A and B are shown apart, each in its own frame.
Chain A
C-alpha cells in the first residue's frame, strides 16, 4: 500500500443499458441475452443505441447543449456522472486543479449537407468548385467545433469547470488505453493528484459505421454472441457509450474522505504485429507483464467481436473466467478500456463476479474477486490491459 496508489473514486457510464454505475452493475448481474439491439435504423447493421437521456441533468445550459452534437454531449454527460460519483462535481477548488485526459475520435458530420454534395456531384464535372459552393453556404459555423476531437475535453472544461490540464488522445481503442496508462503514470509520479479520464463513442451516425466498414469489420444481420460471430460480416456490433473515471492518488482520496472502488495496480499496452498467429501470444505477454496473481482469475474483456482479434483473445484467455462486455453494450471504441476498468472496479467493490454472458465459452467465477484483469484488444491495432485490485 502506497500513498501514490492509483485509486478509482468515480465512475460515469452511459450505454444502451442505461446510465450510472449502479444501473450498469444491475444490468450485468442479471444480463438479458440476447440483448436489446436495433437492427432497423442502419440495416444490415445492428447497433446498441443510446437510451433516452435528459441532457439537462449534466449539461444545464441549453446554450451549451446546442454547441455540441450527441458525441460530445455524451462524453460531457458521462464525465459529469463520474465527477458527481466522486464528490468532485461543483467543488471549485478540486475542479480547477483536476487534470483530464480524454480519448476521442471525431464528432458527427452533417449528414444532410454531405448527402446533398454527393448527389450533386453526379451531375457536375467541377466537383471541387461544387464543394466550395456547398460547404461555404451550407455548413453551420459551429459544427466544426462539434466535430473537433479536443472539443469534448473543451466542453467538459466549460460545463464542469475541470481546468487543471486538458489532453486529448486519438487512435481508436488505443487512445483509451494510453489515456488510462498516462493518467496512472502521472498520478504515481506525483505530477497529478486527481485526474478525469475516459472517452465516448457515438455510433448512431452512418459515417461512424463507414469507419469500420471500409475494412469490412461490421457484423451484418442480427446480434450474435460476441465470441463466435462469423456468420456474416466482420464481427463488430458497435454501440453508443461513454465511460469516465475519476482517478486519484490514495493520499488525495483519503484526505478528502473518499472510499475508493478499487486501485489500478498496473497498466500495460502493446502494439502487436497482427500477422496471423501473432496476436494471441502478444496478448499473453501483455497479461504476463501485469504479473497478475495466479489461480482462478476474472477478466473483464473489451473484446470488439472483430473476427481475428476476438479469436486471438479467446485463445489467450483460455483458462480464465472472462466476460466480453461488448456483448451487451456494443463496441464503444475509445471508451472500451475505461468501460472495462469500470466494471472490473465494480466487481471488486461489490465483492462479486459478473455472471457469464455466454455459456458456450465463459465459465463461472465463484466468490469475491480480489484482483480483476481488464483487457482491450483493438479491432485493428493496439492492445491494453490493467490489473485492478481491492483498495
Chain B
C-alpha cells in the first residue's frame, strides 16, 4: 500500500489524466508518436500574410475549427480538447467536481474585430469612433472575447468544475504556475481533485511582431522545421507556437480509493522571481537555481534522484546559456550524464501553455520509458556541455523528472515529477 502523505505530511498528488494539443496534432497518442519520432510541427505561417515580417514561421495550430477565429476562440477550443481528453482518461464524468486552474494568454480585441467595428460608422476617428459604435450597438459578442475571465468561465461550465476558476499568467512559466496552484489546493485539503490547463492560441500577427521587435524570435525561415534548435551554437531565437495541455490531479488517496490509474506523481513545485531585468536573467543565474532547488526541496528529493530534465530550452541564445548555467550549478559534474532535452525543438514555444505541455510530456517520458530528442542538434554549442538526447529518441528507465519554465518578468517555476509514489 503506497503512502498517501509526503515527507511533510501533505497529501501526495497523483496525476490521473493527461490531454494535449500542439502543432503536431490533437491528443496524446498522436503527439507522443510525433514527438518521439523527432517530427517538427514548425511550418510557414499561412494564418496571416507574412509581408514585412522578419519571422515567417511558427508552430501554429491550424487544423481546428477555431484556428482562424482569433485568440480567445482558439485558446478556448484547445483548452477544452485537452481538458476533455484528460478528464476522460481519468475516468471522471461530465461533472468534474474540483477547481480549475488555467494558464492562458492575456486577451484583447483582435485587429479584425477592431477594424470591423471601425467600419460600422464614419463619425469621429480612432477610439472615439470605436466607443461610439459600441455605444450605439449595445451588448456585443465581442465583449466576451476581450474579458480576461471568459475562457476559464466557459471551461468551468463545460467541465462542471467547482468554485471560481483561476486564470494565471506568469508569461512563459504560466503552465507550471497553473499546475502549482492545483497541487497546492489538494495539499491544503481544499479538494480531492483539481484540473490544471495551459492553453495558448495567441499567434496573431501583432503577437509575432511584438516578440520580433524584442529580437526574441528565430528568423531562420528557409527551413522552418530546422529553426528551433535549442542548445545549438547557431540558435537564434524561439519559434512562436500554440498548444494546450491539461492535467488532472488527485490526492493519491482519492485516486486509489476509486481505482483510478495513477500516471505519475507531482512531487514538488518551486518558484523564485528575478529582479534583474524585464527580459533577461540575473547573470549569476541565482533565481533559476533557487527555483530548481526549491522544487527539489518541496519534493523531498535530492538532485541525484533526477533522471531526466525536460528543459525550458527555448532556443534563444540567452535562455539556453542561462539554463545550462543553472543546471550545472545545481547538478554539478553529474549534469553531463543527465539527459536534458527540449520539446520546443519540435513544437516551438507554446508560451502560456508550455509549462503544462512539457509537464504532460515529462510524465509520458517516465510512463513510456522513452526520452524525446532535442532535434536540429547539428552544431553543438561548445559552451553548453549537456547530453541533449541529440536528434533521436532514446529508451531510458526514468523514475523522476525535473521540468523547467522561465518567463519574461523574472518568472522561474520548476516542477519535479515522479513515476511512483514513494
Q: Which residues of A contact B (CB under 8 A)?
A: 42, 44-45, 67, 100, 104-106, 109, 111, 114-115, 117-119, 121-122, 126-129, 131-133, 135-136, 139-141, 144-145, 147-151, 153-155, 157-158, 161-172, 174-175, 177-178, 182, 185-186, 189, 191, 206-207, 209-211, 213-216, 220, 269-271, 378, 380-384
Do the beta carbons of B167 and A169 come within 8 Å of each other? yes
Minimum CB–CB distance from A322 to chain B (whole Å) comes to 22
Do the beta carbons of B166 and A182 come within 8 Å of each other? yes
Q: Which residues of B contact A (CB under 8 A)?
A: 48-54, 104, 106-109, 111, 114-115, 118-119, 125-131, 134-135, 138-140, 142-143, 146-149, 152-153, 156, 163-171, 174, 177, 181, 184, 187-188, 190, 205-206, 209-214, 271-279, 287, 407-411
A270 to B162, CA, bound (A): 9
Question: With contacts A170-B169, A207-B127, A213-B134 known, is A150 near B408, CB below 8 A?
Answer: yes
Instruction: Specify which chain B residues have a CB less than 8 angstroms from the CB of A269 in the assembled complex.
Output: 163-164
Closest-by-CB residue of B relative to A384 is B164
Instruction: Specify which chain A residues have a CB less than 8 angstroms from the CB of B165 in the assembled complex.
Output: 171, 271
Do the beta carbons of A105 and B148 come within 8 Å of each other? yes
Instruction: Specify which chain B residues have a CB less than 8 angstroms from the CB of A105 in the assembled complex.
Output: 106, 148
Closest-by-CB residue of A relative to B185 is A185
A127 to B54, CA, bound (A): 19
Of the residues B119, B153, B209, B278, contact of A381 by C-beta under 8 Å? B153
Do the beta carbons of B408 and A148 come within 8 Å of each other? yes
Do the beta carbons of B409 and A171 come within 8 Å of each other? no
Closest 9 interchain pairs by CB? A154-B409, A115-B126, A171-B149, A206-B127, A215-B143, A214-B143, A166-B273, A141-B213, A144-B210
A185 to B53, CA, bound (A): 46
Minimum CB–CB distance from A155 to chain B (whole Å) comes to 7
Do the beta carbons of B164 and A141 come within 8 Å of each other? no
Closest-by-CB residue of B relative to A165 is B271
A98 to B409, CA, bound (A): 16
Of the residues B127, B276, B278, contact of A155 by C-beta under 8 Å? B278
Do the beta carbons of A157 and B409 come within 8 Å of each other? yes
A210 to B137, CA, bound (A): 12
What are 6 inter-chain pairs, A to B, with CB distance below 8 A? A149-B169, A150-B169, A154-B278, A175-B167, A206-B127, A214-B139
Question: With contacts A177-B164, A211-B146 known, is A145 near B408, CB below 8 A?
Answer: yes
Closest-by-CB residue of A relative to B290 is A163
Question: With contacts A109-B108, A166-B411, A171-B148 known, is A132 near B53, CB below 8 A?
Answer: yes
Of the residues B48, B126, B278, contact of A151 by C-beta under 8 Å? B278
Do the beta carbons of A121 and B115 come within 8 Å of each other? yes
Question: With contacts A131-B111, A216-B139 known, is A163 near B126, CB below 8 A?
Answer: no
Given A170-B148, A381-B149, list of 20 further CB < 8 A pairs? A44-B135, A106-B107, A114-B114, A115-B125, A128-B48, A131-B48, A133-B52, A141-B213, A150-B174, A153-B273, A158-B277, A163-B275, A172-B148, A172-B149, A175-B148, A175-B167, A206-B131, A207-B108, A210-B134, A214-B143
A206 to B279, CA, bound (A): 28
A210 to B117, CA, bound (A): 11
Minimum CB–CB distance from B313 to chain A (whole Å) comes to 21
Minimum CB–CB distance from A201 to chain B (whole Å) comes to 12
Instruction: Specify which chain A residues have a CB less than 8 angstroms from the CB of B52 in the assembled complex.
Output: 129, 132-133, 136
Question: With contacts A166-B170, A167-B168 known, is A128 near B131, CB below 8 A?
Answer: no
Closest-by-CB residue of B relative to A215 is B143
Instruction: Specify which chain B residues have a CB less than 8 angstroms from the CB of A191 in the assembled complex.
Output: 184
Do the beta carbons of B118 and A167 come within 8 Å of each other? no
Which of B142, B149, B271, B287 is the most central at the interface, judged by chain A CB atoms within 10 Å of its CB? B149
Minimum CB–CB distance from B157 to chain A (whole Å) comes to 9
Question: With contacts A118-B118, A135-B205, A210-B127 known, is A382 near B407, CB below 8 A?
Answer: no
A132 to B51, CA, bound (A): 7
Instruction: Specify which chain A residues have a CB less than 8 angstroms from the CB of B129 in the assembled complex.
Output: 118
Minimum CB–CB distance from B235 to chain A (whole Å) comes to 21
Do the beta carbons of A136 and B209 come within 8 Å of each other? yes
Closest-by-CB residue of B relative to A135 is B209
A157 to B271, CA, bound (A): 14
Do the beta carbons of A129 and B148 come within 8 Å of each other? no
Do the beta carbons of B205 and A148 come within 8 Å of each other? no
Closest-by-CB residue of B relative to A133 is B52
A182 to B210, CA, bound (A): 32
Which of A42, A44, A158, A383 is the most central at the interface, judged by chain B CB atoms within 10 Å of its CB? A158
Of the residues A140, A158, A271, contact of B164 by C-beta under 8 Å? A271
Closest-by-CB residue of B relative to A126 is B49
Instruction: Specify which chain B residues have a CB less than 8 angstroms from the CB of A145 in the assembled complex.
Output: 214, 278-279, 408
A380 to B143, CA, bound (A): 11
Instruction: Specify which chain A residues have a CB less than 8 angstroms from the CB of B211 in the assembled complex.
Output: 144
Question: With contacts A148-B409, A216-B138 known, is A118 near B126, CB below 8 A?
Answer: yes
Question: With contacts A109-B108, A131-B206, A186-B184 known, is A271 near B271, CB below 8 A?
Answer: no
A157 to B213, CA, bound (A): 24
Instruction: Specify which chain B residues have a CB less than 8 angstroms from the CB of A135 in the assembled complex.
Output: 205-206, 209
Do the beta carbons of A382 and B149 come within 8 Å of each other? yes
Do the beta carbons of B140 and A214 come within 8 Å of each other? yes
A276 to B211, CA, bound (A): 44
Instruction: Specify which chain B residues have a CB less than 8 angstroms from the CB of A210 in the assembled complex.
Output: 109, 127, 130-131, 134, 146
Do the beta carbons of A139 and B166 come within 8 Å of each other? no
Of the residues A139, A155, A186, A220, contact of B213 by C-beta under 8 Å? A139
A43 to B174, CA, bound (A): 38
Instruction: Specify which chain B residues have a CB less than 8 angstroms from the CB of A211 in the assembled complex.
Output: 143, 146-147
Closest-by-CB residue of A relative to B190 is A185
Instruction: Specify which chain A residues have a CB less than 8 angstroms from the CB of B138 in the assembled complex.
Output: 216
Do the beta carbons of B278 and A209 come within 8 Å of each other? no
A8 to B268, CA, bound (A): 29
Do the beta carbons of B274 and A163 come within 8 Å of each other? yes
Minimum CB–CB distance from B248 to chain A (whole Å) comes to 20
A104 to B283, CA, bound (A): 28
Instruction: Specify which chain B residues have a CB less than 8 angstroms from the CB of A165 in the assembled complex.
Output: 271-273
Do the beta carbons of B408 and A166 come within 8 Å of each other? no
Instruction: Specify which chain B residues have a CB less than 8 angstroms from the CB of A114 in the assembled complex.
Output: 114, 126-127
Question: With contacts A167-B168, A170-B167, A271-B153 known, is A189 near B188, CB below 8 A?
Answer: yes
Do the beta carbons of A139 and B108 come within 8 Å of each other? no
Do the beta carbons of A163 and B272 come within 8 Å of each other? yes
A189 to B10, CA, bound (A): 10
Instruction: Specify which chain B residues have a CB less than 8 angstroms from the CB of A106 in the assembled complex.
Output: 106-108, 148
